[in-house]
Amino acid sequence: MNSFVYQNTTKVYFGQNQLNNLGSELSKYGKRVLLTYGGGSIKKTGLYDKIKQEIDKSNLQCFEFGGIEPNPRTTSVEEAAEICKKQKIDVLLAVGGGSVLDCTKFIGAATFYDGNPWDIVLGKAKVDKGLPLLTVLTLTATGSEMNSGGVITNLETKDKIGNRLPFMQPKASFLDPTNTYSVDAYQTACGAADILSHVIEVYFCKKQDLFLLDCIMESLMRTVVKYAPIAIKEPTNYEARANLMWAGSWAINGLINGGKQQGWSCHPMEHQLSAYYDISHGLGLAILTPRWMEYCLDSTTVDRFNQFATNVFGITVDLSKMEIARIGIQCLSDFLFKTCGLNSTLTSIDIDSKFFVEMAKKAANGTKNSYKALTEQDIEKIYKMCL
Ligand code: NZQ
Ligand code: ZN
């Protein structure tokens, strides 16, 4: 195991009836709060009213920025940062899924920057602080509630880019599984695919001395495989929503990395699909991941795929390692496309090969240190396998 530093400073309030702590947590950082949210799901569910009540009870002054898009845009970051500057906001409260949380992280950073916020996303701007951020998560998927990363889309340049800045780590996050009861089957499935991918990106690695982390990752994946189908069929099943929610946070809060330097594979490829076609992140990952696996499977990687098939999907048949590895990939496909009901091809969501060359070029910037290093040509082939 490599040497590493692990620190996670987000305080988590997990479970029901935790919002009564919201006012006191916000008050630690000041009086003027900017509440951010997405396209309106929090108004439909009544969460917006509950949050406003808590803010009022604590005599805080509340400003609002709603309408943050899925695959949030740099223009939203810019607009909201202007509000923060003008209204001298002390603290941010993001209520929503990963898109709202990510956008709000960059709003906090852009408040201390006079140039174009896109520079911050690109890592070009020197910004070393942001507004303190609290989150109330309403969709289990990205893990943004417990990490310092965010992903922003620039429609003008057709780029979707992520960056991690330590000061964007939420100070506290409220994780109430009942806030995800209203998430529909499709978004629940996309979320499941995203969590699985966060683990898979790390699990498929060349290091062989990470037994503890392997076990944790296999448990996280098994949790998703067990509970996503239940949450899809029974949206108000607390046990399923709670297990998924906690798995989502731990899949990408730094724990499972164990000092690994390895780059990711499917995320860089997926971000191009979302940037060019504005599709759900989890759907893109679902379509890509089994094809990427097929592309990577060979005599040098077969042991890892064999372990995945055995420990995640319980395949114990008396076959060769290669055959078991292939069954594991098929099990993942069946889970994503049959059990969770996600579309299985790019063609079925109206994506053709028109931009594959330029998308592959952009994606290849992020795949040089991947499990299997992927060139532009490799990525183009994988996109084609997804048609
Ligand atoms: O906008 P509203 O009206 O809230 O509706 C949203 C949106 O339409 C809806 N939704 C959210 N909570 C709901 C709900 N609908 C009903 N009931 C609820 N309780 O779901 C739709 C999708 O929401 P979104 O926030 O876009 O989904 P997700 O959480 O999957 O976030 C995706 C974004 O996060 C980025 C992705 O690239 C994408 O831009 N990621 C962020 C990461 C991070 N910060 O670490 C890592 C990930 O790999 C990922 O890249
Ligand atoms: Zn993801």
Q: What would the mean pLDDT of 227-246 be, rounded to a whole number?
A: 98
Q: Which atom of ligand 1 is nearest to the CA of 97?
A: 25
CA of 122 to the centre of ligand 1 (A): 21
Q: Is the pTM of this model over 0.75?
A: yes
Q: Number of helices and strands (H, E) in the chain?
A: 15, 8
Atom of ligand 1 nearest to the CA of 184: 16
What angle separates helix 376-385 from helix 266-277, to the nearest 10 degrees?
70
Phi, psi of 204 (to 5 degrees): -80, 95
Read off the amino acid at residue 355.
F
Average pLDDT for 171-188 = 98
Closest C-alpha among 185, 214, 199, 144 to residue 332? 199
- Find the residues whose C-beta lies inside 6 A of ligand 1: 38-41, 45, 70-71, 96-100, 102, 138-139, 141-144, 147, 149-151, 179-180, 182-183, 187, 191, 194, 252, 267, 281-282
Q: Which ligand is nearest to the CA of 144?
A: 1
pLDDT band at 208 (very low <50, low <70, confident <90, very high): confident
For residue 367, the CA-to-ligand 2 centroid distance in Å is: 15
In this predicted structure, the answer to whether residue 121 has a pLDDT above a threshold of 90 is yes
Closest CA to ligand 1's atom 25: 97
User: What's the pLDDT score for residue 2?
Assistant: 84
307: confidence class by pLDDT, cuts 50, 70, 90:
very high
199 pLDDT above the threshold of 90: yes
pLDDT at 207: 80
Between CA 361 and CA 90 the distance in angstroms is 41
Q: What domains can you pick out in the chain, each with its CATH number?
A: 11-179 (3.40.50.1970), 186-385 (1.20.1090.10)
What is the C-alpha separation between 57 and 49, in angstroms, rounded?
A: 12
The encoded tokens of residue 135 equal: 């989150």
Atom of ligand 1 nearest to the CA of 187: 20
